[in-house]
């Protein structure tokens, strides 16, 4: 960590973490376990406001997306949770049938569990794409086998370039074109990438696609609402056990930097100041433009912050279906090219009911409205569109709208309030071949970044905290403690 000295830092914290989402909670706990004096600041009244389950009409569910890959025992998520001592009582379920059924135009595809099964399934749907599919699966393996996170035979390394491998810097689409893949295969893989990463096939770097989709192919799963409740309770317990000072209802108004570009502390909205020479932020990188006096930022970095694109916002509707015994429904991803429409459906359970969660992706080119009446009109239009497609286009749900009770309906501006990201971005900063995520280190001494700006998704949020720790602590010593 930074060794610069400033009088204001005496008797302060070794590290201050701003934001208590999964990345902030993970980072604060790692640093505390490694013997550092840590403070964690959250502007909401409780930790993890975006993923914390809540109740509507007697049902409990979570507003966040908690599906992930790499969810099986012995894989990277289990390794992280065990090191952090968070596993007890945390319910998670694997999707035994696989990732999802994907409807692209008139065609439906099943994405099973297991990389070999995925390959066989793709070969069934695209028999003329044998070479492309074999090369695709082989490259997915190659990318992930070169990362010590997924290959325990490898020694840890400091990953300053925010890349998993140097095997390719091409987009998913360009790689598949090199393999002479058909348009249909490219469209299917691009649809999966768009929903799970937030970047389209022509945008997403292949190694990012391989990291995310490779995990979903191998072991897709999710945390139940009760599992998330217990996970967050365990985080609180461990933070308390290791002496982390948790400040709730405390929005950080300013990150204080001296004249030599050294971090010296933070100021919260009530005017109180807390001192540290190491600040770790887990919010959207664009918020740095509000939290730092901009003359402290180098012009080229300020420009990079301004130009970074956010991923799409989402409209999310939750439904409860009481009599679900005769309903067999998997996760679905649906893409209609003619309407430029992408939506998804995931399932969970609350008490004795099936909870359906429908996600309608907002075009990332459409700005959010600010007029209240216009918001209301758009929200109704989007809900009608979501329901029409879910209950008429997804197999097994036709006519179910008469038995489905709408529990809650969240809009992109709902998420925007919580995430402080433009359009309520689902996956933070968009990862593209021209913009491959931010690095942990901001060009100000002692200022670091974690979260989906580094890696996308739930695993990405956790991974960013561990990856920063590998930069700060001795990699081999720290990683041996994590894996043992």
Classify burial at 151, counting beta carbons within 10 Å of its beta carbon; exposed 0-12, middle 13-18, buried 19 or more.
exposed
**For 243-288, how does the pLDDT look when each residue is reduced to its tens digit (9 = 90+)?**
999 999 999 999 999 999 999 999 999 999 999 999 999 999 999 9
* pLDDT for the residue 165: 42
Same domain, 403 and 361: yes
The rounded distance, in Å, linking the Cα atoms of 58 and 291 is 39
* pLDDT for the residue 417: 85
* pLDDT for the residue 455: 86
Same domain, 264 and 356: no
**For 189-216, how does the pLDDT look when each residue is reduced to its tens digit (9 = 90+)?**
999 999 999 999 999 999 999 999 999 9
* pLDDT for the residue 365: 58
Task: Evaluate whether residue 99 is within a structural domain.
Answer: no
The rounded distance, in Å, linking the Cα atoms of 10 and 18 is 20
* pLDDT for the residue 78: 94
Residue 477 pLDDT greater than 70, yes or no = yes
Task: Evaluate whether residue 102 is within a structural domain.
Answer: no
Cβ contact 29:244 at 8 Å: yes
Last residue of some domain: 424, 443, 464? 424
* pLDDT for the residue 118: 98
Residue 159 pLDDT greater than 60, yes or no = no
Residue 1 pLDDT greater than 80, yes or no = no
The rounded distance, in Å, linking the Cα atoms of 87 and 80 is 9
Average pLDDT over every residue of 179-195: 96
Same domain, 326 and 393: yes
Last residue of some domain: 219, 246, 264? 219
Residue 6 pLDDT greater than 70, yes or no = no
Same domain, 240 and 333: no
Residue 10, number of CB atoms within 10 A of its CB? 8
Task: Evaluate whether residue 337 is within a structural domain.
Answer: yes
Average pLDDT over every residue of 347-361: 81
Least Cα distance to 155 among 425, 378, 476, 478 occurs for 476
Mean pLDDT (the chain) is: 89
Average pLDDT over every residue of 381-397: 87
Percent of the chain with pLDDT over 90: 65
Residue 10 pLDDT greater than 50, yes or no = no
**For 18-30, how does the pLDDT look when each residue is reduced to its tens digit (9 = 90+)?**
999 999 999 999 9
Cβ contact 51:62 at 8 Å: yes
Task: Evaluate whether residue 147 is within a structural domain.
Answer: yes
Domain count, the chain: 3
Same domain, 295 and 204: no
Same domain, 64 and 132: no
Average pLDDT over every residue of 373-402: 87
Task: Evaluate whether residue 103 is within a structural domain.
Answer: no
Average pLDDT over every residue of 152-156: 88
Task: Evaluate whether residue 32 is within a structural domain.
Answer: yes
Same domain, 26 and 84: yes
Same domain, 305 and 319: no
* pLDDT for the residue 393: 80
Least Cα distance to 311 among 200, 440, 206 occurs for 200
Average pLDDT over every residue of 76-99: 94
Q: Any idea what the CATH number is for the domain that residue 50 is in?
A: 3.50.50.60
**Residue predicted with more confidence, 413 or 321:** 413
Residue 362 sits at φ, ψ, to 5 deg, of -80, 140
Cβ contact 330:100 at 8 Å: yes
* pLDDT for the residue 7: 35
Same domain, 341 and 296: no
Sequence-ordered list of residues with C-beta below 8 angstroms from that of 2, at least 6 positions apart, any chain: 262, 263, 277, 278, 445, 446
Query: Could you tell me how far CA 234 lies from the centroid of its own chain?
Result: 20
The rounded distance, in Å, linking the Cα atoms of 454 and 461 is 8
Task: Evaluate whether residue 400 is within a structural domain.
Answer: yes
Same domain, 435 and 301: yes
Same domain, 84 and 128: no
* pLDDT for the residue 351: 66
Three-class DSSP labels, the chain: CCCCCCHHHCCCECEEEECCCHHHHHHHHHHHHCCCCEEEECCCCCCCCCCCCEEECCEEECCCCCEECCCCCCCHHHHHHHHCCCCCCCCEEECCCCCEEEEECCEEEEECCCHHHHHHHHHHHCHHHHHHHHHHHHHHHHHHHCCCCCCCCCCCCCCCCCCCCCCCCCEHHHHHHHCCCCHHHHHHHHHHHHHHHCCCCCCCEHHHHHHHHHHHHHCCEEECHHHHHHHHHHHHHHHHHCCCEEECCCCEEEEEECCCCEEEEEEECCCCEEEECCEEECCCHHHHHHHCCHHHCCHHHHHHHHHCCECCCEEEEEEEECCCCCCCCCCEEEEECCCCEEEEEEEEEECCEEEEEEEEECCCCCCCCCCHHHHHHHHHHHHHHHHHHHHHHCCCCCCHHHCCEEEEEECHHHHHHHHCCHHHCCCCECCECCECCCCCECCCECEEECCCCCCCHHHHHHHHHHHHHHHHCCHHHHHHHHHC
Last residue of some domain: 219, 240, 268? 219
Percent of the chain with pLDDT over 70: 93
Average pLDDT over every residue of 130-147: 95
**Residue predicted with more confidence, 82 or 349:** 82
Range of the domain at 339: 312-424
Task: Evaluate whether residue 364 is within a structural domain.
Answer: yes
**For 416-468, how does the pLDDT look when each residue is reduced to its tens digit (9 = 90+)?**
888 888 788 888 889 899 887 789 999 999 999 999 888 888 999 999 999 99
* pLDDT for the residue 423: 81
Tokens describing residue 413? 């501006």
Residue 324 pLDDT greater than 90, yes or no = no
Same domain, 416 and 436: no
The rounded distance, in Å, linking the Cα atoms of 159 and 141 is 19
């Amino acid at each position: 960590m930074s060794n610069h000295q400033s009088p204001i830092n005496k008797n302060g914290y070794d590290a201050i973490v701003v934001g208590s989402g999964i990345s902030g909670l993970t980072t604060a706990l790692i640093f505390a376990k490694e013997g550092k004096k840590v403070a964690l600041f959250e502007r909401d009244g409780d930790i993890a406001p975006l993923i914390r389950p809540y109740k509507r009409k007697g049902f409990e569910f979570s507003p966040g997306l908690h599906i992930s890959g790499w969810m099986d025992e012995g894989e990277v998520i289990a390794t992280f949770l065990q090191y952090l001592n968070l596993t007890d009582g945390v319910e998670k379920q694997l999707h035994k049938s696989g990732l999802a059924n994907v409807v692209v135009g008139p065609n439906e595809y099943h994405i099973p569990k297991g990389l070999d099964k995925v390959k066989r399934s793709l070969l069934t749907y695209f028999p003329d794409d044998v070479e492309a599919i074999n090369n695709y699966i082989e490259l997915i393996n190659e990318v992930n086998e070169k990362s010590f996170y997924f290959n325990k035979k490898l020694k840890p390394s400091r990953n300053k370039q925010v890349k998993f491998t140097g095997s390719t810097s091409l987009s998913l689409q360009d790689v598949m074109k090199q393999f002479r893949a058909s348009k249909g295969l490219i469209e299917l893989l691009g649809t999966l990438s768009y929903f799970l990463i937030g970047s389209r096939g022509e945008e997403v770097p292949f190694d990012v696609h391989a990291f995310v989709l490779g995990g979903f192919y191998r072991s897709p799963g999710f945390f139940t609402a009760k599992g998330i409740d217990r996970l967050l309770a365990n985080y609180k317990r461990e933070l308390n056990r290791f002496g982390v000072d948790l400040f709730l209802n405390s929005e950080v108004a300013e990150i204080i930097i001296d004249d030599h570009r050294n971090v010296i502390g933070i100021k919260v909205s009530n005017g109180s100041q807390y001192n540290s020479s190491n600040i770790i932020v887990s919010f959207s990188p664009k918020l740095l433009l509000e939290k730092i006096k901009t003359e402290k930022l180098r012009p080229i970095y300020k420009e990079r912050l301004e130009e970074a694109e956010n991923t799409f916002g989402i409209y999310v509707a939750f439904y409860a279906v009481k009599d679900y015994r005769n309903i067999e429904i998997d996760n679905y991803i649906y893409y209609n090219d003619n309407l430029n429409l992408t939506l998804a459906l995931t399932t969970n359970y609350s008490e004795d009911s099936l909870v359906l969660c429908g996600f309608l992706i907002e075009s990332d080119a459409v700005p959010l409205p600010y007029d209240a009446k216009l918001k209301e009109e758009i929200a109704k239009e989007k809900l009608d569109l979501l329901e029409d497609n879910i209950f008429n286009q997804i197999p097994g749900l036709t006519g179910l709208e008469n038995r489905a009770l709408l529990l809650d309906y969240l809009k992109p501006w709902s998420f925007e309030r919580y995430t402080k990201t433009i359009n309520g971005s689902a996956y933070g900063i968009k990862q593209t071949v021209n913009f491959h995520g931010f690095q942990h280190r901001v060009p100000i001494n002692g200022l670091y970044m974690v979260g989906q700006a580094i890696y996308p998704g739930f695993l990405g949020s956790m991974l960013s905290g561990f990856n920063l720790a590998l930069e700060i602590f001795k990699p081999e010593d720290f990683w041996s403690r994590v894996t043992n």
